[in-house]
Amino acid sequence: MTQHSSAVQSEIDDFMQGLVRRNPGESDFHQAVHEVAETIIPYIQDKPIYKEARVLERMTEPDRIVSFRVCWEDDSGNVRVNRGYRVQCNNAIGPYKGGLRFHHDVTLSTLKFLAFEQTFKNSLTGLPMGGGKGGSDFNPKGKSDREVMRFCQAFMTQLFRHIGADTDVPAGDIGVGAREIGYMFGQHKRLTNEFTGILTGKGLEYGGSLVRTEATGFGAVYMLEDMLKVRSQSIEGKTAVVSGSGNVATYASKKLIELGAKVVTLSDSSGFIHDPEGIDEDKLAYVLDLKNVKRGRISEYVSEYPQASFHAGERPWHVPCDLAFPCATQNELHEEDALALVKNGCIAVSEGANMPTTAGGVEVFQKARIMYAPSKAANAGGVAVSGLEMSQNSARISWDETNLNRQLRNIMQTIHDNCLEFGQDPGDDYIDYVRGANIAGFNKVANAMIAYGVI
Ligand SMILES: NC(=O)C1=CN([C@@H]2O[C@H](COP(=O)(O)OP(=O)(O)OC[C@H]3O[C@@H](n4cnc5c(N)ncnc54)[C@H](OP(=O)(O)O)[C@@H]3O)[C@@H](O)[C@H]2O)C=CC1
Ligand SMILES: O=C(O)CCC(=O)C(=O)O
């Protein structure tokens, strides 16, 4: 962690006080902005153009937030009411772009932090995409397919007037996978009588892109592979601890297994499984079926594979490993977890989830000088392939898997190299990927905002 002069520190403190005053009680949003302010305010000290244009103040005030009632009927004919949102954070470099989250814990604070981080992440991909995020406090867990369908249709009936292929292109996130995207795309088509690329993560039969399903998890592993390469190391033979058992966790595990790592954990919100023999391709296929088809719990893994243990209500970070991949949700890796990882010899962390490590945890990693890739860089592969899905939809073409895999690999390499450019001090071989990602992401958005004048 860089020590700032007292003048710079007081500028950061003043900035954060103003942000907290304007956005009371939104702790996730404060956390995400604070991490950026800590690196961008020192960076712009000798760049008056950004300070005079108050670029950071403008970037932390979303362009627009829409909130709406979502009213639907459950299978018993009861009327249910949820709240839907779309946070359109910044469209300086392209249409708003970012996922939709359906989870009972969703609040405006969650979506504002996600939309803010998305703005930097999308800029890092090098593709023309602004930042947005949306969702609802609807919980798909335990709902029938018909209930999920009726909710998705009701949600899109409200959202459709705010999105468009050149305006705002949502996608999936927690609780929104292929099934939900299908229902929402179908409803949009019905409402508008248009077949356009207004969502990404679509099925391959109706405008989806190959490699999008795998992209976030694969990308997080590619990022770590590039970080290890700088230290002349590789993934082969390393033990990896992964959290989550959804889209990102399972495809990160798939790529890790392919590259010769031993993946020993997966988790969900009820606890984690530890398989000391390693989760191989067959076991992972079981998990994919369990989660995506049967919609079961990760604890069921131990009935199928009795050598594994289930740890109810716990997170996997105390299991010794070389590599850690938090791939479940925000703030799932706390300071004491980070201390345990470092103590047990973990050498690198790549964040598949968005902001999974608390500020205290990040400080532990940085003080220990282990390799640490923050989410806005490490999990950008998903939105990158979403950007490629948008390109394919606009051109009405489909690229093959080899082409898309190559583009994803190149984008992750470029993100890594940009972090390196802005994250290193002369004479110090430590790479601060947090600073590197923030500055590289900031530059493009800030320069576009300045080009537009005061708007
Ligand atoms: N999908 C994508 O392309 C991208 C996703 N991300 C981020 O990756 C993370 C995972 O997303 P994704 O895999 O798509 O989502 P999924 O819905 O497919 O899976 C989410 C996983 O996280 C677990 N989880 C959710 N909430 C909690 C919680 N409070 N505590 C513990 N575990 C929890 C879920 O368990 P349970 O089933 O018990 O809820 C599930 O295993 C999120 O942070 C998301 O924002 C980032 C970039 C792109
Ligand atoms: O693919 C997308 O547009 C969204 C991905 C996403 O939500 C994320 O990067 O957090």
Ligand 1, atom 33: closest residue by C-alpha: 269
Ligand sitting nearest the alpha carbon of 328: 1
Catalytic residue among 112, 133, 238, 283: 133
CATH number of 64-195: 3.40.50.10860
pLDDT in tens, 57-116: 999 999 999 999 999 999 999 999 999 999 999 999 999 999 999 999 999 999 999 999
pLDDT band at 146 (very low <50, low <70, confident <90, very high): very high
Instruction: Report the residue among 101, 383, 388 best suited for mutation to probe ligand 2: largest number of ligand atoms under 8 A from its CB.
Output: 383
DSSP 45: G
pLDDT at 370 over 70: yes
**Per-residue model confidence (pLDDT) at position 455:** 86
pLDDT band at 3 (very low <50, low <70, confident <90, very high): confident
Is residue 213 within 8 A of residue 250, CB to CB? The reply is no
Ligand 1, atom 9: closest residue by C-alpha: 353
Degrees to nearest 5, angle at CA 45 with 41 and 46 = 145
Residues lining ligand 1, Cβ inside 6 A: 172-175, 177, 216, 244-249, 268-270, 327-329, 332, 352-354, 379, 382
197-230 in b/e burial notation, b at 16+ Cβ within 10 A? bbbbbbeeeebbbbbbbbbbbbbbbbbbbbbbee
Q: Name the β-bridge partners of 309.
A: 274
- Mean pLDDT for 390-401 is 98
202 in active site: no
Q: Give the integer Cα–Cα distance in Å for 374 and 362.
A: 9
Is residue 174 within 8 A of residue 329, CB to CB? The reply is yes
pLDDT in tens, 276-302: 999 999 999 999 999 999 999 999 999
DSSP SS3 for 171: strand
| Measured CA distances, 277 to 244, 248, 251, 252, 307 (Å) | 19, 22, 19, 18, 8
pLDDT at 452 over 80: yes
Instruction: Report the residue among 173, 270, 290 best suited for mutation to probe ligand 1: largest number of ligand atoms under 8 A from its CB.
Output: 173
Is 126 marked within a binding site?
no
Is 187 marked within a binding site?
no
- Mean pLDDT for 149-169 is 98
Ligand sitting nearest the alpha carbon of 375: 1
pLDDT at 1 over 70: no
DSSP SS3 for 81: strand
Q: Give the integer Cα–Cα distance in Å for 335 and 292.
A: 32
Rg (CA), the chain: 21
* Torsion on CA atoms 382, 110, 124, 328, rounded to nearest 10: -40
The boundaries of every CATH 3.40.50.10860 domain in the chain are 64-195
pLDDT in tens, 216-240: 999 999 999 999 999 999 999 999 9
CATH class of the domain comprising 214-369 = alpha beta
Is the ipTM above a cut-off of 0.95?
yes
352 Cα–ligand 2 center, Å: 11
pLDDT in tens, 33-57: 999 999 999 999 999 999 999 999 9
Is 141 marked within a binding site?
no
Q: Give the integer Cα–Cα distance in Å for 176 and 195.
A: 21
Name the residue among 216, 223, 214, 217 with its Cα closest to residue 348.
223
Name the residue among 241, 216, 368 with its Cα closest to residue 314.
241
The boundaries of every CATH 3.40.50.720 domain in the chain are 214-369
Is 234 marked within a binding site?
no
Q: Give the integer Cα–Cα distance in Å for 366 and 351.
A: 14
- Mean pLDDT for 120-128 is 98
pLDDT band at 353 (very low <50, low <70, confident <90, very high): very high
